């Protein structure tokens, strides 16, 4: 699995579609994006195992900036970070995309 992370609107999907030569249909069939929206979740390990079955998983980084006052929002943010850590551990390749520029963190370029 290839795990892509980075800030919102940083070009994550565009990068991986271009790198793999995928069109919209290929992407829909083989990838999942916005996985950070699947939290909070009481079964992060199980969710990470399910997502690891895809060829490409994309998550937006949500841990930067001001820490939310609302406890539920803090938990969501914490769970999103933990899910990203679990996915990165399961991934063969981890790439961070910022400003459309990919940075290889783990594995080999696709």
pLDDT at 10 over 90: yes
How far apart are alpha carbons 75 and 81 in whole angstroms? 10
pLDDT attached to residue 63: 79
Kindly report the number of other CB atoms within 10 A of residue 75's CB atom: 13
The CATH label, of 3.90.550.50, 3.20.20.70, 3.40.47.10, 3.40.50.300, for the domain at 2-106 is: 3.40.50.300
Coil, strand or helix at 31: strand
- Sign of the Cα torsion 55, 102, 33, 79 reads positive
pLDDT attached to residue 79: 93
pLDDT attached to residue 42: 84
Q: Where are the domains of the chain?
A: 2-106
pLDDT attached to residue 41: 79
pLDDT attached to residue 66: 85
Tokens of 30: 């083989």
CA-to-CA dists, residue 22 to 16, 94, 99, angstroms = 8, 18, 20
Binning pLDDT at 50, 70 and 90, where does residue 17 land? Answer: very high
Q: Considering the chain, what is the average pLDDT of its residues?
A: 94
Tens digits of residue pLDDT in 30-58:
999 999 999 887 899 999 999 999 999 99
pLDDT at 68 over 90: no
CA 66, distance to chain mean position in Å, is 21
pLDDT at 86 over 90: yes
């Amino acid at each position: 699995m290839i795990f892509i992370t980075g800030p919102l609107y940083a070009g994550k999907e565009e990068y991986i579609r271009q790198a793999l030569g995928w069109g919209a249909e290929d992407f829909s069939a083989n990838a999942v994006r916005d996985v950070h929206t699947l939290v909070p979740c009481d079964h992060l390990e199980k969710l990470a195992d399910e997502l690891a079955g895809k060829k490409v998983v994309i998550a937006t980084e949500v841990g930067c900036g001001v820490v939310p006052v609302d406890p539920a929002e803090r938990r969501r943010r914490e769970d999103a970070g933990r899910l990203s850590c679990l996915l990165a551990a399961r991934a063969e390749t981890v790439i961070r995309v910022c400003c459309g520029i990919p940075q290889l963190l783990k594995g080999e370029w696709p």
